[in-house]
Structure 1
Amino acid sequence: MASSAVLAASVLIILCLLHNFRCLARNIAAAKASGIPYVIIPVNVFSIFWLVSFSLWLPILHRLPTSWTSPWLQFMHPEWAYLLGHRPFEEIGSDIFLTVSPGRLQLWVADADVINQITTRRNDFPKPLKLYKRLDLYGKNVVSTEGSTWRQHRKVTAPSFSEKNNELVFTESLHHAQALLKLWTGDSGDESRTVRDPAADTMRFALYVISRAGFGVRVLWSHEEHEQEATRQDEVLMGTKPPPGHKLSYREALNSLLENIIWTQVFPKWFLAYSPFKNHKHLYVAINEWGKYMEELYEAKKLEIQSDQKSEGMDLFGALIKGAGMVPEADRDKGQSTQKQTLSDSDIFGNAFVFMLAGHETTANALHFSLVLLALNWNTQRRLQEDIDKTLHGKSISEWDYDEDFPKLFAGMGAAVMNETLRLIPAVTAIPKTTLKDRPQPITLQGRRVVVPGDCHVSLDSTAVHRHPRYWPCVPTGQGQNITNDLDQFKPERWLLDASDANSVSNADRPVSFDDEDLRGPSGLDTSSSLFKPIKGSYIPFSDGYRSCLGRRFSQVEILAVLAVIFREYSVELAIDPFSSDEQIDSMPKGGAERQKIWQKTADRANYLLRESLSSIITLQMRGNQIPLRLVKRGNERFIFQ
């Protein structure tokens, strides 16, 4: 029996090896025929097997002779696109190339014109829907669909994100930014506390803004619970205690769901209920609880619309219900009520969930990384503060006006900081597309025609194209104004070039034709016309073309509002707790070598974590580590070195 089992296992292994060899040979043949440079790698780095076990294999592979592993080993880390930037493209000598494994043909793109071709040919390069299947936790949505179904979802959801709705986003961002400051600096605003996990706090900030601006739910911070009352009749307040009929509070259900969303991508929902692990069971409860909250909000919104009540702001649920035809509309010709339902209830819940998920992570990440990068770059932070002072003229926050003040913030240093953060650390490093099986697609690369094979995964490498010397200006340094390649560095000043310099390398104003204006996407520009305008396809933190992010302007409004609130009064510093105490720092001369040595240790650790501790589940985030920060009143900074 034992020998039979060994024989069967041996046969199975041989068959698997033969199958992999045949698949690899087929993929190599397709790569050769494409005319695109390619690199052969031994395994698909995005397979479940490799994602789970790569940390075991990579140390072993790195011990092998370089002649055995070059050039493929650098592509074996799942986050190589973020870790290496544009360098692999330079080494290969092409701005597009294929990685070829037995399990996958993968095209990597860092050419702006090719990116533009792909994003404007949505039928030729659709999204790989298998990657988004688990986002259908509550129903189909605008992210997880393609073709005519996607067109329905897009037309119904896009009106929620029009420019006229962003005033409420601005107002809510100001409110929650002040609550966040109070959390970090105490009731008096003068307490210099170490913020040990700023990423978690910025995530809460973004969640609370979209809950209110998108769904009419004001989620209270812990220190607000005894201070706040509903300011409008239709406003819903959610605190730490579950309301009747619920096991979890709104905040707890949402936080648990989003913090553990990875498990919904690995296991089906039913498995979580029977899993032996406590966090899986809690996640199952959270999924059901937030679904119940959505159903309650949904029913209340339908009644509100039917009674012709006017809602404030974005009103995402209201827009979905109206656009989906869930509420009867009068037939003017016949004088009758008709109801043409284009999206089901589950579709509406699915879109609500995906906007809640995607609508907070990008903003939260950008805010978190902006604060860390500013703490590492004092001169840039000081320039930001000066620009905010000049823009807002010392007005109290209650006097800030969206129509008057946001355009100025969007054209100034705050926008430069935001854009530069998203250039260096985009939420998605490899925007996924695909070609259909047996449908290869021709593209033009630098005037040469090549063919993307059918059934090929396509990654628009945002990190690489964001660091491509062809598309981005460098900042002059030193008295001699020497220019070196600084595209791996945080330099928001590159966005503040003279208009004549920016226009000399830009075609951002080149018109793009769409066959359906309803699908164009959110209004407004990726960047202000007053700042550097990247060549189309070279700056894609919100993707581009038909599938560009609907919530782009929503996110921009949030980020600029909270940066303005924080830096009008405060500076942000790296917390030096791991290396020294406040008493020790206070005993050191200001600006002296001792303080600088402590700060440099802290900065080295922060830079290391920014390089090595970021990974993607849905978006690129720091996982398993934190970079503690501290806010201090302007003028009381402890680490200023000229």
Structure 2
Amino acid sequence: MASFSLFLVILAIIAHAVYTLFSLVNNIRKARAIGLPYTLSPIHELERWAYVADPILRWYCRGYLLQGNGWPRWARFMIKDWHYEDKGRAHREYGPLFIVVSPSGMVCYVADSHAALHIGTKRRLFVKPPDKMSNYKMLEPFGPNIGSTEGDLWKIHSRIASPSFDEYTQKLVWTETQRHASTLMSMWSSNRGFEFEKGVYTLTMDVMGCVSFGQQADQNNDEKTRLPEGHSLSLLGALRGVIMHLPHILLVPKALLRYTWKGVYTAYVELDQYMDELLFQGMKDLSNGLDGARSKENLLKAMLRSSKENEEKGPRAVGAKVSLTNEEIKGNLFIFLLAGYDTTANTIIYACVILALYPDTQSKVLDEVGEFYKGEDAGDSPNKSSSEYLAMFPYLLAFMHEILRVFPVIIPIARQTISGQELTTRSEISGSESFTLPGGMDVIINNTAIHFSESYWPSPDILDPRRWLVRDSQAFDPSKPPTEEQEADIQKCVFSTQSNAKGTFMSFGEGPRACLGRNFAKVEFVAFFSRLLQNHRLEAGGDVNPRETERNLRLLSGGSPVTLIPPHSVDIRLVPRGS
């Protein structure tokens, strides 16, 4: 009996090996038919096994990464979101478009701006991967949302959610961010051991709490004293726990998760309870007519109102969906929290460190902030629109976009072809080339490779906000003296994203699926630094080695499953300007 069982095990292993080999050979044949360069990997980053390989290989390869050569070739494609540490090396080796082939399938990587723009704008031809473990399905622990849906369903989400991001919301973001930045400023400047990263996360969470749900908080309060009745975690703590452990939540059955990763399960249950409570209160206020005018609404109530109005108008076609379910509204609440809290906070954290390490850049930001506050009641005028506020900070906006170019907080942009699709690459050397990808093929826009391409950004390793102040960013090389025309543009200091060709800056995406909250993020970033640096400046702590710190930031990421985060905390101090 034992011998027979052993025979079955050996037979199963042989059968699996034969099937794996057959699948690999078949996928190689398909890749060759496409005509693009290809390379082989035991697994690719969109497979479930990548969630197992990722933490192991990140730990094992850390020393190799610190040598400055990116990932070792044998490990590169088995790691989730390997693109940031790679900095375009794979594309310099294989080309602007290439294919990774594994036994389970193929992935096409794109670092050509023309092809990336085509993928971003043709949303019905290149859809988000439907697989449960894709990066977009990672955004659905509580329900479908505007960040994860496709086709007509996405249009419904967009129609209901988009009106919420209006001028009132932008002004509320400005006011709340400045209010919380003032509190953070007093705590930070008086405490040399202050963990500023934690303060920034709390600030963005509190801003989102107010803007999204009408909940105001005071950072001076200890997190435990701010716990609502019936909760063991704060909203911030629950959200953090969910974001950092999304693979566990999606892969492990909840009954098993409860006993194997108790802290993760608690965070999931707590956040779900928070959103149920917020949704119930919002619906109650709306039905009782307590929401009042739009000027008093938060994002949740605005979305509930929009959904109700769409339902009252009726479907455009018989049987068509016109409103969102409670699950879908919760899904959007989560995506709003994630985008407004996590991505903006990490952008601000990277910016704080870089300002402390780049005194000349910080000096220009301080000058601009100083000019802003020379005007009477500049920081508190209720009559200014958000666009008027932003227009006063062209250099700070240029700095923000340069931070997002060098540290693209949202790393992967994944799509899947619904049928055979033609992609065209354009090069000054080789001209145009076209390739047809088969239906059902995964495609990833490598925005880090695009941001670090010499073709689009001369001397891409140099962080220089002036790129965003000239008329043609592709002609501006920060390693060389600017031309007379470029110098004139820089002196005028007019920020514009029109200076860079479409498809060359992908941090907010391109086309109809571009980031809905990009203006939200700009307002929050500018409001934060305009208040924080009004009478202070940032400096690195005495034990911080500037060169080593920046090197580590550029060579390593923190390994978050959703966004790019710094690999470690940095001692950054807030000191009076004159000190």
Q: Given the two structures, how large is their TM-score scaled by the length of structure 2?
A: 0.84
Q: Report the 3-state secondary structure (helix = DSSP H, G, I; strand = E; otherwise coil) of the residue aligned with 2:104.
A: coil
Q: Is the 8 A contact 1:166 1:314 kept in 2?
A: no
**Residues 577-607 of structure 1, C-alpha deviations (whole Å, 9 max, x = no match):** xx4xxxxxxxxxxxxxxxxxxx5x3541453
1:7, 1:21 → 2: CA distance? 21
Q: Is the 8 A contact 1:423 1:466 kept in 2?
A: yes
Matches within 5 A, 1:533-572: 533-572=499-538
Seen in structure 2, the aligned counterparts of structure 1 residues 488 and 400 have a Cα distance that, compared at 3 Å, is farther
The reply on whether 1:574 has 2:540 as its aligned counterpart is yes
Seen in structure 2, the aligned counterparts of structure 1 residues 537 and 142 have a Cα distance that, compared at 3 Å, is same
Seen in structure 2, the aligned counterparts of structure 1 residues 548 and 320 have a Cα distance that, compared at 3 Å, is same
Corresponding residue of 2:306: 323
Corresponding residue of 1:496: 469
1:265, 1:400 → 2: CA distance? 46
Return the index of the structure with the highest Cα Rg.
1
1:141, 1:286 → 2: CA distance? 20
Q: Number of paired residues?
A: 540
397, 401, 411: which one pairs with 1:415?
397
The reply on whether 1:634 has 2:577 as its aligned counterpart is yes
1:326, 1:246 → 2: CA distance? 33
Q: Identity of aligned pairs, percent? A: 28
**Residues 25-57 of structure 1, C-alpha deviations (whole Å, 9 max, x = no match):** 121111111122212223223433343235656
Q: Report the 3-state secondary structure (helix = DSSP H, G, I; strand = E; otherwise coil) of the residue aligned with 2:80.
A: coil
305, 312, 327: which one pairs with 2:295?
312
Seen in structure 2, the aligned counterparts of structure 1 residues 571 and 345 have a Cα distance that, compared at 3 Å, is same
2:496, 2:56 → 1: CA distance? 49
2:55, 2:337 → 1: CA distance? 32
Matches within 5 A, 1:279-358: 279-303=263-287, 306=289, 309-312=292-295, 315-325=298-308, 342-358=323-339
Q: Report the 3-state secondary structure (helix = DSSP H, G, I; strand = E; otherwise coil) of the residue aligned with 2:308.
A: coil
Corresponding residue of 1:87: 89
Seen in structure 2, the aligned counterparts of structure 1 residues 108 and 163 have a Cα distance that, compared at 3 Å, is farther
Q: CA deviation at 1:448?
A: 2.1
209, 212, 215: which one pairs with 1:214?
212
**Residues 128-168 of structure 1, C-alpha deviations (whole Å, 9 max, x = no match):** 13223353333321122212111111111111113453111
Q: Report the 3-state secondary structure (helix = DSSP H, G, I; strand = E; otherwise coil) of the residue aligned with 1:141.
A: coil
Q: Report the 3-state secondary structure (helix = DSSP H, G, I; strand = E; otherwise coil) of the residue aligned with 1:632.
A: strand
2:433, 2:34 → 1: CA distance? 12
1:566, 1:388 → 2: CA distance? 10
446, 449, 465: which one pairs with 2:434?
449
The reply on whether 1:193 has 2:178 as its aligned counterpart is no
Corresponding residue of 2:343: 362
Aligned AA (1:432):
A
Corresponding residue of 1:464: 449
Corresponding residue of 1:145: 149
Q: Report the 3-state secondary structure (helix = DSSP H, G, I; strand = E; otherwise coil) of the residue aligned with 2:436.
A: strand
Q: Is the 8 A contact 2:249 2:264 kept in 1?
A: no
Q: CA deviation at 1:194?
A: 2.9
Q: CA deviation at 1:285?
A: 3.6
Corresponding residue of 1:10: 10
1:569, 1:420 → 2: CA distance? 24
The reply on whether 1:430 has 2:412 as its aligned counterpart is yes
1:43, 1:253 → 2: CA distance? 32
Q: CA deviation at 1:78?
A: 3.3
Q: Is the 8 A contact 1:257 1:286 kept in 2?
A: no
Corresponding residue of 2:20: 20
Aligned AA (1:200):
K
Aligned AA (2:466):
E
1:57, 1:388 → 2: CA distance? 44
Q: Report the 3-state secondary structure (helix = DSSP H, G, I; strand = E; otherwise coil) of the residue aligned with 1:471.
A: coil
Q: Report the 3-state secondary structure (helix = DSSP H, G, I; strand = E; otherwise coil) of the residue aligned with 2:444.
A: strand
Q: CA deviation at 1:181?
A: 1.1
**Residues 496-553 of structure 1, C-alpha deviations (whole Å, 9 max, x = no match):** 33x3x44979xxxxxxxxxxxxxxxxxxxxx975466210011010111121111111
Corresponding residue of 1:32: 32
Matches within 5 A, 1:127-142: 127-130=128-131, 131=134, 132-142=136-146
2:168, 2:291 → 1: CA distance? 20
Q: CA deviation at 1:207?
A: 1.2
Q: Given the two structures, how large is their TM-score scaled by the length of structure 1?
A: 0.77
Q: Report the 3-state secondary structure (helix = DSSP H, G, I; strand = E; otherwise coil) of the residue aligned with 1:129.
A: coil
1:119, 1:296 → 2: CA distance? 36
Q: Is the 8 A contact 2:157 2:324 kept in 1?
A: yes
Matches within 5 A, 1:560-639: 560-576=526-542, 579=543, 601=545, 603-623=547-567, 625-636=568-579
2:313, 2:123 → 1: CA distance? 36
Seen in structure 2, the aligned counterparts of structure 1 residues 409 and 264 have a Cα distance that, compared at 3 Å, is farther
Q: CA deviation at 1:451?
A: 0.8
Q: Is the 8 A contact 2:285 2:291 kept in 1?
A: no
Seen in structure 2, the aligned counterparts of structure 1 residues 12 and 386 have a Cα distance that, compared at 3 Å, is same
**Residues 281-317 of structure 1, C-alpha deviations (whole Å, 9 max, x = no match):** 422441343133223332333235x357124366222
2:226, 2:556 → 1: CA distance? 38
Q: CA deviation at 1:192?
A: 5.1
Aligned AA (1:444):
T
Q: CA deviation at 1:455?
A: 2.2
Corresponding residue of 1:336: none
Aligned AA (2:218):
L
Q: Report the 3-state secondary structure (helix = DSSP H, G, I; strand = E; otherwise coil) of the residue aligned with 2:516.
A: coil
1:570, 1:343 → 2: CA distance? 46
Aligned AA (1:422):
L
Seen in structure 2, the aligned counterparts of structure 1 residues 253 and 395 have a Cα distance that, compared at 3 Å, is farther
Corresponding residue of 1:480: none
2:293, 2:349 → 1: CA distance? 35
Q: CA deviation at 1:195?
A: 3.0
Q: CA deviation at 1:86?
A: 2.3
Corresponding residue of 1:511: none
Gaps of 5+ in 1: 64-68, 186-190, 226-237, 332-339, 475-484, 506-526, 580-598, 637-642
The reply on whether 1:390 has 2:371 as its aligned counterpart is yes
Aligned AA (2:396):
G
**Which 10-residue stretch deviates more, 36-45 or 422-431?**
36-45
2:113, 2:83 → 1: CA distance? 16
Corresponding residue of 1:482: none
Gaps of 5+ in 2: 65-70, 315-320, 427-431, 477-492
Matches within 5 A, 1:156-305: 156-185=160-189, 191=190, 193-196=192-195, 198-223=196-221, 240-244=225-229, 246=231, 248-258=233-243, 260-272=245-257, 274-303=258-287
Aligned AA (2:92):
E
Seen in structure 2, the aligned counterparts of structure 1 residues 315 and 303 have a Cα distance that, compared at 3 Å, is same
Aligned AA (2:510):
D
**Residues 181-227 of structure 1, C-alpha deviations (whole Å, 9 max, x = no match):** 12212xxxxx251333x33322221111111112211122234x8xx
Q: Is the 8 A contact 1:441 1:451 kept in 2?
A: yes
Q: CA RMSD in A?
A: 3.2
Seen in structure 2, the aligned counterparts of structure 1 residues 199 and 391 have a Cα distance that, compared at 3 Å, is same
